[in-house]
Structure 1
Amino acid sequence: MTSRKDIKSVVIVGGGTAGWISACHLAKKLNARTPQIQVMLVESPNIPTIGVGEGTVPMLRETLKYFGIREDDFIHRCDVTFKQSVKFIDWNEPNSGEYYHHLFDYPYFKDFTSTWLNKSLSDRGRYADLVSVQGHLIDAGFGPKAMTQPQYRGAMHYAYHLDAAKFTKLLTEFGVEQLGVKHLLAEVIDTKIDAQGNILELYTDNAGVLTADLYVDCTGFSAQLIGSACNVPFVDKSDILFVDSALVVQLPYEDKYTPIPCFTKSTAQEAGWIWDIGLSERRGVGYVYSSQYSSIEQAESVLREYLGKAAEEISFRHIPMKVGYREKSWQGNCVAIGLSSGFVEPLEATGLLMFDATARMLAECFPANTDVMPLVANRYNQRVSNAWNRVIDFIKLHYVTAKRMDTPFWVDNKNEISIPDSLKEHLELWRYHIPTAYDFTSTLEFFNLENYLYVLYGSDFESKLKMTLNDEEERLFSEMTDKLDKQVTLLKSQLLPHRELIERIKLYGIQLN
């Protein structure tokens, strides 16, 4: 029987966004303790960041504020633009240009969902446009905040588009200089494991032997610690989410006046979808597709057709992706965060979301000693596995509710065999009942009522809810739309076009309070 030992040191293996956001969360929380806990990050100087996507969700805004990073510094250094939604194009009808927004702002009038459902198709318009001002404003090209609004505040909820490599560099400098993270450049070449499956030592190529009380695996898809050393099985979910490959490219703008969309464009294709993200200096474009339904040659052809002349004489980077998650993200004294823990396609920027959320969870529930570590690990594993399954449900929802049926990829996505039972149950219920907050009871439901409302009714989910609207409900509905129209007009007079907003922030900064 081993004696109780206080946890005094953490070694994170692997850099990139996952490694450094983990380091910053741990250092921010643990260095406030007495005695402080040493946080070290060791990364190979030879492995580049994968950087599949460059989109985020609003949670990152709260994280950066919590860390103490200035928003204007982040925008200036990381080629940042604002993201207010994901715009789903051609998900219901190929090559139609039809779209819906999954907005980041909460619906102003979600209580009118039943009224909207009972309107005729010709009268009700897009769901998002009748419950929020945000879709109107981003389609008109406006940013989410005025120059008079302080750091991390806006007229509407927002996230960011960013350059992943520049963001990692910012986190590296901030973690080392402001939070006291010890940074080591070395290659971990071997791992020593004891009889109970705990990591005892890490052997490096140029820094000798490293030891710690807790190890964090941020080595990406290689899962060097949690997979290779600790032998934790990988739970494959490619039978639910078919997309497992990506072709990516970075492109300059035609000129410095090109408008920058304030949303991620997600355009459906024959075997997946194409993201198109506008940063301040360039675009990031990628086709994520299923290798079961398309060859790499066909995928390249699809992406070149989408890009047109911009694709002439350029090559794409190909990234294979493992879809699923580890059976346990915490085994013994090893915790996996980032791609080593799991991955699903970047449709809703779930990668960075999971990196950020699980890193903060680890910091918040960090075990005091080795006796309590198994209890903490068990709860952590339950929460993370549940979070992965709920994320998978939400991503699958987009494919199930999409109306496209023009290729085997889209047909098979609607096959009941590929739909999780939990999602099937929700969808059957929601045919007769509008979703409520009581359908989302976990504290780790990253996608909640509002997110589901935007996707369900944005894709015109078939509802069998029938009721007769009385005169009072019709009057209230009319008042609601008038109020929303006036708010749109007011905000258009107060906000700036997106590119102009970014340029002004870079010139003048953002006030603190």
Structure 2
Amino acid sequence: MSTFSIAIIGGGTAGWLVLNHIAHSVWSDKVSLTLIESPDIPSVGVGEGTVPSIRKSLQSFGISETDLIRRCDATFKQSIQFVNWLDANRHGRLNQYHHLFDAPNATWEPLIQHYLAEPELDFAHLVSAQASLCDELKGPKNITMAEYQGASSYAYHLNAAKFAQLLADNVKSKFKIEHVRANVVDASLFANGYIRSLHLDQGIGEQAFDFYVDCSGFESVLISKTLNVPLVDVSDTLLVNKAIVTQVPTSLDSEIPPYTKATAHQAGWIWDIALTERRGVGFVYSDNHLDNEQAAQKLDRYLQGKLADLPHRTIDMKVGFRQQFWKNNCVAMGLAQGFLEPIEATSILLTDMAGEYLAQRLPTATNALPMLQKRFNDTMSYAWERVVEFAKLHYLLSDREDSAFWKDNRAAHSIPDELASRLALWQQYPPSTQDFFSRYEVFNAENYLYVMYGMKFKSKPGSLSIEQRRHLVNIQEQLETYRQQLVKAMPSHRELINKIHQYGLQKQ
């Protein structure tokens, strides 16, 4: 009986996440799985934020949410709070907003029309009770709720290195996985351009497989160096290209914000992610608008003069995605697929999405490769293009005038055509589900609503009938009652995390 052999090149979050998807979908005696992990390359360690879809994947892998919280220093994430993305003098206290994970109230139209008629209102607080949970630093669930269930939607902040280890332990405990620690120093090709074999160090030598999954990060040892697939450069659209990253220790009794904080600055923005014992902080910026010394000074000011006392490093970000994600018998995943800035936690999101999609259409015979390759490339290209547009939305809607960076982000040539077309439509009509026809949009109407109206985008107000106005009053009364009940019922975020560490969550 012939076995179809698959090699995953690279560990880290991407490699082990994709391997979990593959193993749980296609494992059989007819498929062999090998993960080759470099003993020399540390995790990039930037992607510490996730989105709610990760819960579905982790649950399908059979990973306990209690173990996730305990082992990965994890905390709950219910939102991204954007601060200073608008002109502070013009907007004052309204110069911040939440991109919540709960969808707006089921009846969108009256609430949106109410906001458009009174734009001084805060959109997130108008349409969802979750904004108040964030304000009060509350958790999304209580200790009696089952794993992966909550009173509001949520994702996680986590230690990326520990998360990768949890994923590795999970898949190796359940499936027959060959785990090889070695570097890929070269690769051989067949005459038709397919990869024939890998050459590994550590005295291992040549190893041949039928299919290769490149999760080797920025190195992209197969998709880039062996198969010469170039990046589609989107640096003319997304202008930030560097990041200074550090970790700030915190006390075990400090409050934990249940959201990522994203604070805009002169030529970029700072993320601030709170785990149980530290904050992950990074300044993302454009070195075409700010030199490295100035960037370090801005991050130091944010950290109240503590940067010199903290280990920190600068990361160069080549922003773009592969012209092909799958070529011949090799598919790229994670950072080997491409990299966009960390806004909206798109890196783990795209890896999780692509890993699930690959697992559902994984080849188990060589003759299936060409057909699967085209479908995968078309789907992932569409997804990446939409993510670029959504990331760009945050910048081009800003009315900041204090630097060339913000002005350059509004230049017409930097705005993707599809995004420009959608914004023209949304000036007349608010976004609706009809505008998002593909399941691979990645970000949908509710995501655009939070960002657009959080940043005071102007859609033409419609009119509400008398019946709709009555309905609006009922919606608002019901939402306010629910808001008060929810805030009262949910524990503080730190209290919830402490109880999970002590008692664990209920199994489903």
Task: Map 1:191-270 to 2 at 5 A.
Answer: 191-206=187-202, 207-253=204-250, 255-270=251-266
> In the aligned structure 1, how far is the partner of 2:493 from the partner of 2:68?
17
Alignment match of 1:486 (pick from 470, 481, 488): 481
Which residue identity does 1:488 align to in structure 2?
R
Moved more, 69-78 or 395-404: 395-404
The CA deviation at 1:36 is 3.6
After TM superposition, give the deviation of residue 314 of structure 1 in Å.
Answer: 2.7
Find the aligned partners of 2:112 and 2:163 in 1 and give their Cα distance. Answer: 42
Decide which of 352, 357, 366 is 2:348's aligned counterpart: 352
Distance 2:176 2:277 in 1: 32
> Which letter maps to 2:130?
Q
Please give the secondary structure, in 1, of the residue aligned with 2:358.
Answer: helix
Q: Secondary structure at the match of 2:222?
A: helix
Greater CA drift, 369-378 or 78-87 = 369-378
1:504: how far off? 0.2
Residues 154-163 or 219-228, more deviating: 219-228
What are the within-5 Å matches in structure 2 for residues 354-503 of structure 1? 354-463=350-459, 465-503=460-498
Shift of the alpha carbon at 1:187? 1.1
Residue aligning to 2:42:
48
Provide the rounded CA distance (Å) in 2 between the counterparts of 1:500 and 1:361: 37
- 2:319 matched to 1:323? yes
User: How far off its partner does 1:233 sit?
Assistant: 1.5
**Inter-partner Cα distance in structure 2 for 1:227 and 1:469:** 55
* 8 Å CA contact 1:16, 1:168 repeated in 2: yes
Q: Do the aligned residues in 1 keep the contact of 2:2 with 2:30 (CA within 8 Å)?
A: no
Cα deviation 1:356-399 (Å, max 9, x = unaligned)? 11111111101232112100001000001111000001100111
Deviation track 1:122-173 (CA, whole Å, cap 9, x = no partner) reads: 4xx2111111100011111110001111010000000000000110111111
The range that moved more, 333-342 or 172-181, is 172-181
* 8 Å contact kept, 2:386–2:441: yes
Aligned to 2:499: 504
C-alpha displacement at 1:244, in angstroms?
1.2
* Structure 2: distance between partners of 1:94 and 1:457: 16
Measure, in 2, the Cα distance between the counterparts of 1:416 and 1:114. 28
Question: Aligned residue pairs: how many?
Answer: 503
Q: Which moved more, 1:316-325 or 1:96-105?
A: 96-105
Q: Distance in 2 between matches of 1:452 and 1:76?
A: 33
What does residue 146 of structure 1 align with? 142
Aligned-pair RMSD on alpha carbons? 1.5
Name the TM-score, length of structure 2 as normaliser.
0.96
- Contact residue 122 and residue 454 of structure 2 kept, 8 A: yes
What residue identity is the alignment partner of 2:488? S
1:27 and 1:180 in contact (8 A); partners too: no
Map Cα deviations across residues 232-262 of structure 1 (whole Å, 9 max, x no partner). Answer: 1111110100111110000111x32211000
The change in CA–CA distance for 1:185 and 1:467 in structure 2 (over 3 A counts) is closer
* CA gap 1:89/1:7 in 2 versus in 1, 3 angstroms: farther
Task: Provide the C-alpha distance between the structure 1 equivalents of 2:462 and 2:156, rounded to a whole number of angstroms.
Answer: 40
> Does structure 2 retain, via aligned residues, the 8 Å contact 1:246–1:318?
yes
Calculate the TM-score normalised by the size of structure 1: 0.95
* Conserved? CA contact 1:271–1:290, under 8 Å: yes
Q: Per the alignment, in what secondary structure is the counterpart of residue 367 of structure 2?
A: coil
CA–CA separation in structure 2 for the residues paired with 1:291 and 1:379: 37
Please tell me whether the aligned partners of residues 221 and 340 of structure 1 are also in contact (alpha carbons under 8 angstroms): yes
Secondary structure class of the residue paired with 1:288: strand
- Once the two structures are superposed, residues 92-140 of structure 1 have per-residue CA deviations (whole angstroms, 9 ceiling, x without a partner) of 1248562111100011142324422443344xx2111111100011111
Q: 1:270-289 maps to which residues of 2 (within 5 A)? A: 270-289=266-285
Shift of the 193–143 alpha-carbon distance from structure 1 to 2, 3 Å rule, reads same
Task: State the shift of 1:312 in Å.
Answer: 4.5
How far does residue 310 in structure 1 lie from its aligned partner after superposition?
3.4
1:14 Cα offset (Å): 0.9
Tell me the CA shift for residue 179 of structure 1: 2.8
2:113 is matched with which residue? 115
CA–CA distance in 2 between the matches of 1:466 and 1:136? 26
Query: Which residue of structure 2 lines up, in the alignment, with residue 70 of structure 1?
Result: 64
The amino acid of 1:497's aligned partner reads S
* Structure 2 residue ranges without an equivalent (≥5): none
What secondary structure sits across from 1:91 in the alignment? coil
Name structure 1 gaps, 5 residues minimum.
none
Post-superposition shift, 1:178?
A: 1.9
- Which ranges of 4 or more aligned residues in structure 1 deviate by more than 4 Å? 94-97
Q: Secondary structure at the match of 1:265?
A: strand
The residue identity in structure 1 corresponding to 2:339 is F
Q: Is the 8 A contact 1:6 1:370 kept in 2?
A: no
In the TM superposition, what is the alpha-carbon distance from 1:331 to its structure 2 partner? 0.5
Matched, 1:99 2:93: no
Deviates more, 1:294-303 or 1:469-478: 469-478
Does the CA-based 8 Å contact 2:6-2:34 persist in structure 1?
A: yes
Instruction: Give the superposition deviation at 1:309.
Output: 4.0
- 283, 288, 296: which one aligns with 1:300: 296
Q: Indicate if the aligned counterparts of 1:234 and 1:324 stay in contact, CA closer than 8 A.
A: yes
Structure 1 distance, partners of 2:136, 2:456, is 23
Secondary structure, aligned partner of 1:224: coil
Is the contact between residue 45 and residue 160 of structure 2 (CA under 8 Å) also seen in structure 1?
yes
Distance 1:79 1:417 in 2: 43
